[in-house]
Amino acid sequence: MSTPEADTASPPEVDATALETLLYAAVAAPSIHNTQPWRFGLDARSRTLHVRADRGRSLPVSDPLLRAQYLSVGAAVLNLRVAAAHLGWATEARLLPERDDPDLLATVRLTGAADAASAPYRDLYESVARRHTSRMPFTGRPVPDDIVSGMAAAVRAEGACLDVPDHAGTRRLLRLTALAEARNAADPARSAEARAWITAPGRDTRYGIPFTSLGPRDAAGRMPMRDFTGPAAGLRLPALRFERHAQVALLWTPRDRRTDWLRAGQALERALLVATRHGVRTSMLHQAMEWPDLRAAVGEPRRRHSPHLLIRFGYGPDGGRTPRASAARPEEDREAPRQPLPRLSRGRR
Question: Does some domain include residue 4?
Answer: no
- Edge-to-edge, what's the strand order for the sheet holding 48-53? 38-43, 48-53, 104-113, 89-95
Whether the CA torsion 145, 148, 152, 157 is positive or negative: it is positive
Q: Report the distance separating Cα 338 and Cα 134, nearest Å.
A: 37
Q: 295 and 244 share a domain?
A: yes
Residues 299, 108: Cα–Cα separation, whole Å:
31
* Band (205; pLDDT cuts 50, 70, 90): low
pLDDT mean over 88-109:
96
User: According to the model, what pLDDT value does residue 349 have?
Assistant: 35
- Please tell me the predicted confidence (pLDDT) of residue 202: 58
The whole-chain average pLDDT of the chain stands at: 87
Pairing of strands 198-199, 209-210: parallel
Largest CA distance in the chain: 61
Domains held by the chain: number? 2
Percent of the chain exceeding pLDDT 90 equals: 70
Q: How many beta carbons lie within 10 A of that of residue 349, not counting itself?
A: 18
Residue 230 has a pLDDT of: 64
Same domain, yes or no: 163 and 231: yes
Cβ-contact 312, 246 below 8 angstroms: yes
- Answering whether pTM is above 0.85, one says yes
**pLDDT value at residue 208:** 86
| 77 and 176, same domain (yes or no) | no
pLDDT tens per residue across span 23-37: 999 999 999 999 999
Q: Which alpha helices (H) appear in the chain, and where do they start and end?
A: 16-27, 67-87, 119-122, 125-130, 145-157, 167-186, 188-195, 258-277, 292-299
- Asked if residue 82 and residue 27 are part of one domain, the reply reads yes
- Is residue 61 domain-shared with residue 189, that is, in the same domain? no
Decide if 149 is inside a domain: yes
More confident residue, 88 or 342: 88
pLDDT tens sequence across 39-79: 999 998 999 999 999 999 999 999 999 999 999 999 999 99
| Residue 138 resides in a domain | no
Do residues 23 and 90 both lie within one domain? yes
What CATH number is attached to the domain comprising 106? 3.40.109.10
> Do 112 and 151 belong to one domain?
no
- Domain membership of residue 345 (yes or no) is no
Q: Phi and psi at residue 162, in whole multiples of 5°?
A: -135, 120
Q: Is 102 a member of any domain?
A: yes
Q: Is 15 exposed, middle or buried (0-12, 13-18, 19+ CB in 10 A)?
A: exposed
In a domain, 135, yes or no: no
Q: Give a yes or no: residue 136 inside a domain.
A: no
Mean of pLDDT values over 84-91: 96
What's the rounded Cα separation, in Å, for the pair 173 and 159?
23
Question: 296-337 pLDDT, tens per residue?
Answer: 999 987 766 899 999 999 999 876 677 777 654 433 343 333
DSSP for 4-62 reads: PPP-SSSPPP--HHHHHHHHHHHHTS--GGG---EEEEEETTTTEEEEEE-GGG--TTT
- Dist. CA 50–CA 173, nearest whole Å: 36
Are β-strands 217-218 and 239-240 bridged in parallel, bridged antiparallel, or unpaired? parallel
| 328 & 310 share domain | no
Are both 255 and 330 inside the same structural domain? no
Q: Which range of residues forms the domain containing residue 218?
A: 145-314
* Inside any domain, residue 274: yes
Q: What are phi and psi for residue 221, nearest 5 degrees?
A: 75, 15
- Pair (98, 199) in one structural domain: no
Considering the domain architecture, whether residues 269 and 331 belong to the same structural domain is answered as: no
